[in-house]
Amino acid sequence: MATRVLMIKADGSVLVHSDGGSYKPLNWMSPPCTVKEGVADDGQVEWTVTAKATSKGPADTLRILIEEIHSDSQHDLGIDPGLQKDGVEKHLQELLAEHPATLADGLALVRREFPTAIGPVDLMCRDAEGRSVAVEIKRRGEIDGVEQLTRYLELLNRDPLLKPVRGIFAAQEIKPQAKVLATDRGITCATIDYDALRGMDDAEERLF
């Protein structure tokens, strides 16, 4: 037993949160599901959360024993207007496409979303010497992003019209392990100052 935050949402999902660790719940049931309140064999209040059965197997069940309620409230959140995130990858890509030289001196944009057989490269650029540079952009740079850029570079360097192609891994924050892997593979890491980039964009809008 422990103090937990229990959330029952209007869409039918049930989430069990702790007060630390992460934004992720300790346990949850995705909608659609039903919640029934009953009493366990020892007299404790028990919530039984049952998911909908599927062709893959029987319905899952989550049992929650409630020893004490510290607070119980209900709130109608109304119609969801949608969420606009500031600094998401798409916005970072747009800003860097406008200001590629912030990643490296002399860098110029060739194309956004440059196509490859395994997906588009965020930015394809050329450096001051005219060599191809593939840029992969993330909000948080982790090993998976480096691996993704590595796969792109392997494909792009097979094209005689593009090679040699080097890579830049750009993010607002790059994890140390990702930096080590990128350096080992000859990939340049660039930390993005989002506020500075946005300021440059706003300044150009005022000029026009």
pLDDT digits (tens, 9 = 90+) for 21-40: 678 899 999 888 889 999 98
Q: What is the structure's pLDDT at 55?
A: 74
Q: What is the structure's pLDDT at 30?
A: 87
CA separation, residue 26 to residues 2, 8, 17, 19, 181 (Å): 12, 14, 6, 10, 32
Q: What is the structure's pLDDT at 207?
A: 41
Q: What is the structure's pLDDT at 201?
A: 61
Q: What is the structure's pLDDT at 208?
A: 42
* Strand pairing report for 188-191 and 165-174: parallel
3-state helix, strand, coil in the chain (%, to 5): 25, 35, 40
CA pair distance 118, 114, nearest whole angstrom: 11
Q: What is the structure's pLDDT at 179?
A: 95
Q: What is the structure's pLDDT at 203?
A: 52
| pLDDT < 50 positions in the chain | 205-208
Tokens 């993704």 map to which residue? 148
CA separation, residue 126 to residues 33, 37, 100, 132 (Å): 53, 64, 10, 5
Tell me the residue length of the chain.
Answer: 208
- Print the SS3 string covering 101-123: HHCCCCCEEEEEEECCCCCCEEE
Q: What is the structure's pLDDT at 159?
A: 93
